[in-house]
Structure 1
Amino acid sequence: MNARDFAMLLSLAALWGASFLFMRIATPAVGPFVTSDLRVLLAGAVLWIYAALIKNQPKLGQYWKEYFILGLINAAIPFAFISAAEMNLNASLAAILNATTPLFTALVAWGWTKEPLNWKKVMGLLIGVAGVSILTGWSPVPIGNKIVYSVGFSLLAALSYGFGGIYASRKFKGVKPLDLAIGQQLGAGVILLPFSIATIPNKVPPAEVLYSIAGLSILCTSIAYLFYFRLINNVGAVKTLSVTFLVPIFGVIWGSIFLHESIYLNTLVGMIVIFLSITLVTNLLPLKTKNNSA
């Protein structure tokens, strides 16, 4: 990975980490459905304009049903769940919980595509459960029902991302990444629209909320997707996956700087334990067995 690609990787992590900051600001004012719907509709429009500027007009008709399904499980559900979770969770905790996505992806792959779970993956999953327990249970902050529900929403969002990743890999072979990104955002926008209309606030939100939604849409979704797909083309999917470790770090940093969120010992320990579990599940930590196979 050269310096330019590494800078792009850091930028991607910083942008995706900032999404939890923006959701924490916007959601209490306009609700999870409006926040999520504006995010995907604006992002889809910006990506479409970008495609037109580079003369790469998207072709969505052939897979329109699949785009609705992908938009549901890889954008509408996880975005709404994370936004709902951040009604009660701080941005730092939400960002770290979202890092469990590779763990759920491994489970979905095992149940759906019969991809085997070797001992490293099983160990990684168990360690991941321990990390979530440390993150949420070993905390100086009282844990009430709202916090428990919100943690559940965050984990369900990660599970939905797991289904979305496997579905996309099976249904969209040969589809241009830009078409895939646009189709997903617009499909999610249509699905979320009735829920968004039903919960639209009765007053204009303050300026910082509007800025947060704009940042969430343009920076954390449109531009971030362009960085993501460029990295996959330049350095491959495995190296791009390392962004999983960087996003929570930036989520904690942005939450601490801009929202003055406290960083407790359990936050750091839980994050490290979850990172360890991800390295095992994604085979980024090469441990040898007796027959030198993983």
Structure 2
Amino acid sequence: MALPVVMALLAVYIFWGGTYLAMKVAIETLPPFTMAGIRFLIAGAIVYAWQAGRGVEQPKPVHMKNAAIVGVTMLLGGNGLIVWAEQYVSSGIAAIIFATVPCWVALLSWLWQGGARPNVMVFGGLILGIIGILLLVNNSVGELSSTASQWIGYMVLVISSLFWAVGALYSRVAKLPASPFMATALQMLFGGGACLLFGLMIGEWPQLNFALVSNRSLFALGYLIVFGSIIGFSAYIWLLKVTDPTLVTTNTYVNPIVAVFLGWVLAGERMTGNDALAAIIIVLAVIMIHKANHRKKVVIPAPEQVALTMGQEGK
């Protein structure tokens, strides 16, 4: 394997795997939805300016409308809820639960969009994924005697993965800019704006005091903007052009493993034996669905893959 391909793969694995810990650090002194909004607005503006400077065709009204739907669904309903949930659960557990997105995509593609009925391997993956989530929730209920915050965090993460799956499926049929980078820029701008507005609606803005924002949080926010939303995505797009998509989309199950490792090494996050078992079950479920879909030449969008194939359906 060529060195540039290896380096790009490592960038996708590490940079995207590290976003979960970065989000948790960022919200130590920044409100969750406000932080997410700032991240996506800045990243979206940078990518949009880059595309406009290169003379990429400006989006049409239908592109704007669809980008707004996808951006709000995936970045407010999906990513925004992840950030909120990380107030109560570890970054590693958040990554593991959100890794179930391919499970929901496979199920909703069949039930909602009239896709092919899942085969035995996909159904097995779906069942394993549900078992893994239930085991995690059962663990949290068993450990919590006076508060339900962790349990609520787990449930919100499941909801966020459903939002992301819905947005990913809608993006398959929506008309979006031909350039995946322009599509991504629009989705980040609309999604970031929605996150900021939602933060205002739930009272986050009065809580925000920039004088109290730590350097740790600012560094984590910068990481999310530069490495998570710009460099990581660019590496992913480049890899799709030069190598086998089956290899590239291994990030679906590598990223949560990286997230758990980074949370353990850098933040001292710990997992119980039952948590580890649940994590293994969920990762196995994702691998089963990933393998089954690639046999049918179907690519499932990955959780940090904001607009990987979104711009290639319509002009």
TM-score by length of 2: 0.83
CA distance in 1, matches of 2:181, 2:149: 38
CA distance in 2, matches of 1:193, 1:35: 8
Amino acid at match of 1:228: Y
CA distance in 1, matches of 2:265, 2:173: 40
CA distance in 2, matches of 1:141, 1:91: 20
Does residue 123 of structure 1 match 2:143? no
Does residue 260 of structure 1 match 2:265? no
Quick check: 2:177–2:183 contact (8 Å CA) kept in 1?
A: no
Does residue 246 of structure 1 match 2:254? yes
Change (3 A) 1:174 1:47: closer
Alignment correspondent of 2:167: 164
CA distance in 1, matches of 2:177, 2:38: 29
Amino acid at match of 1:133: L
Alignment correspondent of 1:189: 192
Matches within 5 A, 1:174-213: 175-197=178-200, 198-200=203-205, 201-204=207-210, 205-213=213-221
Quick check: 2:253–2:287 contact (8 Å CA) kept in 1?
A: no
Alignment correspondent of 2:112: 112
Change (3 A) 1:257 1:118: same
* Unaligned stretches of 5+ residues in structure 1: 288-294
Amino acid at match of 1:109: S
Q: The residue matched to 1:283 in structure 2 has which SS? A: helix
Mean alpha-carbon deviation: is it higher for 235-244 or for 72-81?
A: 235-244
Amino acid at match of 1:98: F
Quick check: 2:89–2:150 contact (8 Å CA) kept in 1?
A: yes
CA distance in 2, matches of 1:270, 1:221: 29
CA distance in 1, matches of 2:204, 2:159: 22
Does residue 227 of structure 1 match 2:235? yes
Per-residue CA distance 1:111-140 (angstroms, 9 max, x = gap): 222121222211111111112233343469
Mean alpha-carbon deviation: is it higher for 130-139 or for 175-184?
A: 130-139
Amino acid at match of 2:129: G
* Unaligned stretches of 5+ residues in structure 2: 296-315
Quick check: 1:88–1:146 contact (8 Å CA) kept in 2?
A: yes
Q: The residue matched to 1:30 in structure 2 has which SS? A: coil
Report the CA distance between 1:73 and its aligned residue: 1.2
Report the CA distance between 1:190 and its aligned residue: 2.3
Report the CA distance between 1:10 and its aligned residue: 2.1
Q: The residue matched to 1:282 in structure 2 has which SS? A: helix
Amino acid at match of 2:221: I
Alignment correspondent of 1:96: 96
Change (3 A) 1:58 1:186: farther
Q: CA RMSD in A?
A: 2.3
Alignment correspondent of 2:278: 270
Quick check: 2:31–2:208 contact (8 Å CA) kept in 1?
A: no
